[in-house]
Every structure is written in structure tokens, then in C-alpha cells.
Amino acid sequence: MPISASKRDDLAAQLREIVPGERTVLTSAEDLVAYGYDATWFDSRALLVVRPQSTQQVSAIHRLAHRERVAITPRAMGSGLSGGAMPSLEAIVLSVSRMNSIVEIDAVNRCAVVQPGVITADLQHAVEARGLFYPPDPSSLRQCAVGGNIAENAGGARCLKYGVTADYVCALEVVLPDGTVIRTGGKTVKNVTGYDLRALFTGSEGTLGTVTEATLRLLPKPKYTRSALAAFASIESAAACVPSIMDSGIVPTAVELLDALTIGCVNDIAPGAFPSACDAVLLFAVDGNYEQAVDGDLDAIEAAARAHGAVRFERARSAQESDSLWQARRSVSPALARRRPNKLGEDVCVPVSAIPALVERVRDIARRHDLLIPVFGHAGDGNLHPNILCDRSDPNEIARVREAAREIFEAALALGGTLSGEHGIGVLKKQFMERDLGADALALMRRIKDAVDPHGIMNPGKVFPDPGGEDVFRLE
């Protein structure tokens, strides 16, 4: 039953008692629009927005929503790429953006205690000033927050060597749907007591509770880092080079692939960022504590690249050149957005050995459906981002986008891959979940969801397929 205007006003008044102050509860049409979208092209409108500053306030908000059977959509900075932070109709958006304190950097135990609204890049800068290192590096690291990274189990280029967000979650404080506050994990190096609830909540996309504090593992900062670029006359040669490098015993920090269309889009906004007279480039990063070993790894990578037909291999000569190279890589998404009115960013992941086959299939899909589908991503760990460039106002084109998206998923699954390497499922790919996980595993996930959230108030409409829903993206 729709929530009436009087009921909405009553909820807003109760929330203002829980979170007093200016602009802590937002109800204007402008604010509801601003909190109604993420980095996908979808949008919605919240019932209202609340911006707490403490775990106690989050707990009280949950108790109210649980009692009134009103949905909650937890939200950090809204930079996600699967629709996870987009509120369902008549949901309270619980924004953790004001919970943005780095509570502690513990150098002895190599961990940081942070609130969920801390910007990822700010955390990295703070710990690096102490000689420590927080590896996860999503491309949106200057905009995204730790809470969203945990919800989506975010990754980034350095995942190849260092792993995704889940590999750094030592402990979580979580508010359950009914307002109960639990803590799981701690600062210990090892912890095998009971079920691994840290893993359960990490990547749960806000469907089980709201994270209000995280203890994150840190590493010693590597003393030496090196970056390089290899240009190839064909993307097939570049793709074939990646498994060869991974089979050599070298573990690069990152291996990134960009095809010619991606390169052209980046060069449109940053002329000369990448070589233009090539079909693809690979970007490499290596790091370590021994300069000779790091340089030796880069020598071996260059030899492998040239053996696979690299027509150009350039090493960054300074930290500034290296930073420029990776800043150009992080500019891919906004660069693609300038080529066509809309883009559907994808996130499939396959075994590294299947990278060449996936690249070939995506190019074939683009040709057959007459679509621009630039291919880029974290080739070293098999996580590619085919982006379908399009115009949502053209129904014929959108019909082709639907079919192309379906075929990209099917290609990834047929090659032993999965629907998402780091962006999550959200609303984008939920109708394909059973194909990936199987009916029994998906049913187990539903039972866990029902046990933790029996009234279904936590981020409804995400992750789980709609009963009888179409086996396609939501594109409208």
C-alpha cells in the first residue's frame, strides 16, 4: 500500500528527533532527485533522505523503519555501477556521508578503523603518510567511500596482486534491519571463530544491514613502483600477451587493457594520453621492496610484450609520468560518456586464460548488433568492462543493446566466468543470477536474506531476481 503524504511527514518528524540539526532529514523534490541515482543511467526517487552521524542514530532509524515496515536503502557516495544505491520506490535513503571519520590508524597491528563515509583516496593518503598501504583502488577512488566499497566488494587495478575489498576487511560493525548492532571480527591476524560474518556482509549490497564502522587491514607500503605501457597492432595480440605474463611466474600489481575505441575516447579529452596508431595498449604496474627485483620484473614483462608483437614499449621515467598514465586510465569512464548520449558499463570476469576468447566474442557481438562496445579493464585478473555506447531515446538501438548485453553475459558464463568482478549485481543483472549461481545456491541466499531481514526492508529490489521477471537488463 502506498505511503500517504501524512505518513511521510510523520516519518520525517520522527527522523528529525533521531537526527537533529539542519539538513539531516531531506524531503524537497530537488534532494530526492539528487539521492535517487548512482553512476548508472537509472534513477528513482526516495521517500525521504536521512543523514545520521553515529551508529546509535543508524540503529534508531532502523528500529523506526522496522516497526513501520518502511524500506531502507543504505547509501555512501552513490558512485556505484549496478544500481545498488538507487532507492526503490518509497524507501528511506540512509546516507552515511556524514559518518566520515578515520577513527584510528594502528601501525602496530597494521589496520585502520574507519566510518563508512570515508573517501577511499583520503584513507589511502592518510595511511601512506604513516608508511602503510591500503591496496583496493576503484577507478572512482576520489569519489567513492569505504561503505560503498564494502557493500559492493569493490576492486580496482591493483586487485591482480592484492585482491578486492573483502581481503582487507578485518572487522565490521553492522546495524541489522531491526536495529540490533553487531560486531564481527577484530584486529587479530587470524580469526576462525564461527561463521565468517565479515564475508557475509561484505558484498551484500545493503540487503542485510548497514555498515557503520570497518576495521581494514593495511600492508607496509612498497618501496619501489614502476609503470609501463605496451602498444599492439592488434587487440588479439595484446589479449594473448596477458596469459603469457601470468604464466611466467611474475605477479604484476596491475595489467590493464584498453582497445582502440577506448584509447580514442580518452585522447579526445586528454590528447596524447595514449598512442593512437595501435589497436590496443596494455598498462603495467609492478612494485616491491627491492629495486633490482622490480626492474627485473618489468624487463621480463617487456620481453613478453615484444614476443607477442608489441610495436612500442615505454616505461614511465618518473613518479609524475606514472601518475599521469594511471590518471588517464581512470579517465576512461567519463571519456566514454562523451562519445554517445548514454553508456551501459559492464563488468564480466573470466579466467585469465579466457581473456583472448572473451575479447573476440565481444568484438563479434558489437559487429553483429552494429554497436560501439569499447573493451577495457583489468585484464590481469580477467575482469573486463565492455561498455555499450548508445542513445536511450532510440528504441531500435536499445533493443540491440538488450540483446548484446545478454550475449556478453552468456559469453562470460560459457567461458567459465561470472556476472560481476567488482561492480555488484544491484538491479542490472539480477535476472541472470540463477544462470550464474544455480537454483539451489540462489535459494540458499534467499533463506539467509529472509532470516536476517524477515520483513524485507533492506534495499529491496536488488540482487534477487523478480519473480517472473524478464531475463534481461532493466534498461528503461
pLDDT tens for each residue of 56-68: 999 999 999 999 9
Type of residue at 145? A
* b/e 209-246 (16+ beta carbons within 10 angstroms → b): bbbbbbbbbbeebbeeebbbbbbbeebbbbbbbbbebb
pLDDT at 474 over 70: no
Across the strands, what pairs with 72? Answer: 92, 458
pLDDT band at 358 (very low <50, low <70, confident <90, very high): very high
pLDDT value for 470: 59
- pLDDT at residue 321, rounded to an integer: 95
pLDDT-derived band at 88 (thresholds 50, 70, 90) equals: confident
Cα distances (Å, whole numbers) of residue 25 to 14, 93, 431: 10, 10, 34
Residue 1's pLDDT is 65
Q: What is the pLDDT of residues 379-411, one digit of tens each?
A: 999 999 999 999 999 999 999 999 999 999 999
Average model confidence (pLDDT) across the chain: 95
Burial class (CB in 10 A: 0-12, 13-18, 19+), 2: exposed
Owner of C-alpha cell 582487507: 168
The Cα 74–Cα 153 span in angstroms is: 15
How high is the pLDDT of residue 467?
82
Give me the sign of the Cα torsion angle 21, 25, 31, 34: positive
Residue 346: the pLDDT is: 86
% of the chain at pLDDT higher than 70: 98
Distance, CA of 42 to CA of 432 (rounded, Å): 18
| pLDDT for res 280 | 97
Find residue 384's DSSP bridge partners: 348, 377
41: confidence class by pLDDT, cuts 50, 70, 90? confident
Q: pLDDT confidence of 2, banded at 50, 70, 90?
A: confident
**Distance (Å, whole) CA 343 – CA 41:** 8
CB neighbours of residue 322 within 10 Å: 17
For the record, the C-alpha cell of 285 comes out as: 604496474
What are the tens digits of pLDDT across the range 447-456? 999 999 999 9
Predicted confidence (pLDDT) per residue in 205-263, tens digit: 999 999 999 999 999 999 999 999 999 999 999 999 999 999 999 999 999 999 999 99
